[in-house]
C-alpha cells in the first residue's frame, strides 16, 4: 500500500544518535569492530522510553538496524580507508531500517509472541498500521469523510495488539526514517526479491539483538506487504531455517495479473472483472445505488454476487466475440442490478468495467467519485469528463492526520527523529521497483506480472504447521477482498493444508482499521489467531 506519493528525492541523511536507557533494556551494541550492526554509511541506534496502555506496561525502542543487500558477507569486513568496520568495497550499498519495538515488561521473552508489522507501497512507511491499527496510540479520524485539519486527536488505543503480542513496526528501506546509500542503492533494495532479502536480514538481526529467537513469531503485512510476506516467509523458512508460527495478511494481492486496475492492457485475462464484481456490489449497496429494494444484510447479498461473478458472468466474458447479443444484453441487465451502473454504459464497455471507471461512474450524477482504498469515501471529480477517477478521496481524507500525528508522536513521546525528515513513501521507489521475481526452484526471474503464490505455497509445505490468516474489507477496490479468497483457493498446496488458512472480512476498506468497529473486530480475530498458534503453555 500505502501511499503512492511521489516525493522529492533530495533528503539529507543526518542520523542523530539518541540513546536513553530503561532499567530492563539491553544496551545497544555500538562502537566496536565486532559490531555487526555497523557499516560504512550508517550505525544502529535507539531511543528507549516506557509507557502504559490498557493496563499493559511496555518498553518502546525506536531505532535503526543496518542491513546489506544479497551477497554481502560479514567475514569480508577487512577494513576500508574511512571506516574499519566497512566492507572492503566501501561503496557497497546498505540500508538503515527504522523500527519501533513495543515489548510488554515483566514477561519472559520465550513466553511472549513477537509480531513484525509493515505496510506496502511498495516503498511505503508503516505509519498507517502503527497509528491506525496496532500501536499503543491511535489517531482519531472521520469514518467515511475527510478528517478536518489539525489539531488532531491522538488517544490510547483500546484495540492495540499489545495484549496478545510484542510489536515491531518496520519502515521499508528509504521510507520513514529508513535510508539507503551506496553504489546502485535503488537496485540493491527496490525490488521484489531485494526487498524480501532486506526484511529477512532485518528480522535476523533483530532476533539476535533483542534475544527473541525462541519467541513465537508472526508476520503482519498489508497491501504490498502481503506479497512481501509471501517472499519473506519463504526466505526465512527455506533459506534461513527460521520457522514462524503464523502469517497474517491484510488486503491481499499475490498475483498482479488479477488486479482490476486497467486489466484492458492484458486482453484475454477476464478474472479481474469477475473478482472485483462483489466489491462493486458492496459499494453500490453502501451508497444506495442498487435499483429496486436494497438487500438488508451485506454478506448474504455478496455471496450471491460471488456465485454470479464466477459463474454466468465469467463464462460470458470468456465467450468473447462469440457471445450472442441476447445473452450479452441479459448479462448487462444483471450487472445493472448488482452494480447500479447504467445498462448502456455496461454494453459500451463490453461488460468489462475496470476499477477506475467504476469509481468515476457510480456517483457521476453528483460529479463525485468513490475512493479506491475505501469506496465508502467519496469526493468531487477533478475532471467531470474523465474516463476514470484521477485521485483517491480516502487517501486525501486521512493522510494528513496520520503523517502529522506520527511526526509529533515520534519526536515528543518516543524521543526520536529530531533533525530528520519522516518520508511516508521512499522517494523514487515506485518508479525504480523491479517486479521481476524468481519463484522457489526457478533458475531465473519471471518477466511476467509478479506472482508470489508459489512462495507462500512453498513455505506452507516446508512448514506444514504454519498458519495463515487472511483479512479483507468489503469496500477495498485496490485489492478486492474476493481476489484474496480466490488466490488462497488456487495455492499449489495439498488439500489438507487449506485447513491452515482462515478468512475474516469486515465492513470497511483497504485500511480495515479506518472504521473503529471493524478495528475492534479485527483485533479480536488477530489476537485469537496469535494466542491459538503460539505454542505457549
Task: List per-residue pLDDT tens for the chain, 537 residues long.
Answer: 333 333 333 222 222 222 222 223 333 333 333 344 456 789 899 999 999 999 999 999 999 999 999 887 766 554 444 444 445 555 689 999 999 999 999 998 888 999 999 999 999 999 999 999 999 999 999 999 999 999 999 999 999 999 999 999 999 999 999 999 998 999 999 999 999 999 999 999 999 999 999 999 999 999 999 999 999 999 999 989 999 999 999 999 999 999 999 999 999 999 999 999 999 999 999 999 999 899 999 999 999 999 999 999 999 999 999 999 999 999 999 999 999 999 999 999 999 999 999 999 999 988 999 999 999 999 998 888 899 888 899 999 999 999 999 999 999 999 999 999 999 999 999 999 999 999 998 888 888 899 999 999 999 999 999 999 999 999 999 999 999 999 999 999 999 999 999 999 999 999 999 999 999 999 999 999 999 999 887
Residue 198's alpha-carbon distances to 180, 202, 481, in angstroms, are: 11, 6, 28
In this prediction, residue 4 carries a pLDDT of 35
Every domain range in the chain assigned CATH 3.40.50.1820: 45-257+398-435+448-532
- Per-residue confidence (pLDDT) for residue 74, from 0 to 100: 66
Q: Quote the pLDDT of residue 379.
A: 93
d(C-alpha 79, C-alpha 86), whole Å: 6
The angle that helices 453-462 and 225-234 make with each other, rounded to 10 degrees, is 40
CA 456/CA 235 separation, integer angstroms:
10
Taking domain 45-257+398-435+448-532, whether its CATH number is 3.40.50.1820 is answered by yes
For residue 291, count other CB atoms closer than 10 A to its CB. Answer: 11
The pLDDT of residue 444: 86
Distances from the Cα of 62 to the Cα of 166, 306, 404, 410, 467, angstroms: 14, 44, 18, 8, 29
Q: From 5, 468, 528, 533, select the one nearest 254 (Cα to Cα).
A: 468
Q: How far apart are CA 305 and CA 388, in angstroms?
A: 24
393 and 477 in contact (C-beta within 8 Å)? no
The pLDDT assigned to 384 comes to 87
DSSP conformation class of 94: E
The reported pLDDT for the residue numbered 102 is 98
To the question of pTM greater than 0.85 for the whole model, the response is yes
Determine the 3-state secondary structure of 223 from DSSP. coil
Rounded to whole angstroms, the Cα distance separating 210 from 140 reads 32
215, 112 in Cβ contact below 8 A? yes
pLDDT value of position 77: 54
Amino acid at each position: 500500500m500505502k501511499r503512492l506519493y511521489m516525493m522529492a528525492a533530495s533528503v539529507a541523511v543526518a542520523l542523530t544518535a539518541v540513546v536513553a536507557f530503561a532499567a530492563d533494556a539491553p544496551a545497544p551494541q555500538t562502537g566496536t569492530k565486532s559490531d555487526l550492526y555497523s557499516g560504512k554509511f550508517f550505525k544502529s541506534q535507539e531511543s528507549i522510553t516506557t509507557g502504559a496502555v490498557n493496563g499493559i506496561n511496555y518498553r518502546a525502542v525506536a531505532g535503526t538496524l543496518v542491513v546489506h543487500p544479497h551477497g554481502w558477507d560479514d567475514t569480508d569486513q577487512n577494513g576500508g580507508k574511512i571506516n574499519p568496520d566497512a566492507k572492503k568495497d566501501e561503496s557497497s550499498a546498505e540500508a538503515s531500517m527504522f523500527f519501533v519495538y513495543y515489548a510488554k515488561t515483566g514477561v519472559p521473552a520465550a513466553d511472549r509472541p513477537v509480531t513484525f508489522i509493515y505496510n506496502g507501497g511498495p516503498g511505503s512507511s508503516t505509519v498507517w498500521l502503527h497509528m491506525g491499527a496496532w500501536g499503543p496510540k491511535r489517531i482519531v479520524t472521520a469514518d467515511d469523510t475527510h478528517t478536518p485539519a489539525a489539531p488532531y486527536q491522538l488517544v490510547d488505543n483500546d484495540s492495540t495488539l499489545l495484549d496478545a503480542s510484542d510489536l515491531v513496526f518496520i519502515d521499508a528501506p528509504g521510507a520513514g526514517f529508513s535510508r539507503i546509500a551506496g553504489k546502485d542503492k535503488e537496485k540493491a533494495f527496490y525490488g521484489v526479491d531485494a526487498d524480501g532479502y532486506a526484511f529477512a536480514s532485518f528480522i535476523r538481526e533483530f532476533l539476535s539483538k533483542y534475544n527473541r529467537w525462541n519467541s513465537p513469531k508472526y508476520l503482519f503485512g498489508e497491501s504490498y506487504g502481503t506479497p512481501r510476506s509471501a517472499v519473506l516467509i519463504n526466505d526465512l523458512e527455506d533459506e534461513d531455517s527460521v520457522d514462524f508460527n503464523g502469517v497474517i495478511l491484510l488486503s491481499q494481492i499475490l498475483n498482479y495479473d488479477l488486479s482490476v486496475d486497467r486489466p484492458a492492457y492484458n486482453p484475454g485475462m477476464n478474472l479481474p472483472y469477475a473478482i472485483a464484481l462483489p466489491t462493486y456490489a458492496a459499494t453500490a449497496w453502501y451508497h444506495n445505488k442498487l435499483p429496486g429494494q436494497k438487500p438488508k444484510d451485506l454478506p448474504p447479498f455478496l455471496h450471491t454476487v460471488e456465485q454470479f461473478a464466477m459463474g454466468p458472468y465469467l463464462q460470458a466474458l470468456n465467450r468473447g466475440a462469440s457471445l450472442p447479443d441476447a445473452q450479452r444484453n441479459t448479462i448487462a441487465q444483471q450487472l445493472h442490478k448488482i452494480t447500479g451502473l447504467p445498462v448502456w454504459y455496461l454494453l459500451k464497455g463490453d461488460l468489462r468495467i475496470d476499477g477506475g471507471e467504476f469509481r468515476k461512474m457510480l456517483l457521476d450524477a453528483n460529479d463525485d467519485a468513490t475512493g479506491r482504498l475505501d469506496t465508502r469515501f467519496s469526493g468531487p471529480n477533478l475532471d467531470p469528463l474523465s474516463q476514470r477517477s484521477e485521485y483517491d478521496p480516502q487517501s486525501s481524507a486521512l493522510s494528513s492526520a496520520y503523517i502529522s500525528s506520527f511526526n509529533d508522536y515520534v519526536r515528543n513521546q518516543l524521543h526520536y527523529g529530531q533533525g530528520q525528515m519522516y518520508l511516508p513513501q521512499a522517494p523514487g521507489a515506485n518508479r525504480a521497483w523491479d517486479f521481476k521475481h524468481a519463484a522457489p526452484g526457478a533458475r531465473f526471474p519471471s518477466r511476467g506480472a509478479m506472482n508470489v503464490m508459489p512462495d507462500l505455497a512453498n513455505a506452507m509445505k516446508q512448514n506444514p504447521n504454519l498458519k495463515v490468516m487472511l483479512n479483507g474489507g468489503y469496500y477495498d477496490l485496490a485489492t478486492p477482498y474476493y481476489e484474496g479468497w480466490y488466490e488462497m483457493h488456487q495455492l499449489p498446496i495439498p488439500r489438507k493444508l487449506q485447513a491452515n488458512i482462515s478468512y475474516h472480512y469486515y465492513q470497511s476498506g483497504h485500511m480495515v482499521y479506518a472504521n473503529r468497529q471493524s478495528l475492534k473486530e479485527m483485533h479480536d480475530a488477530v489476537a485469537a489467531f496469535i494466542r491459538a498458534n503460539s505454542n505457549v503453555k
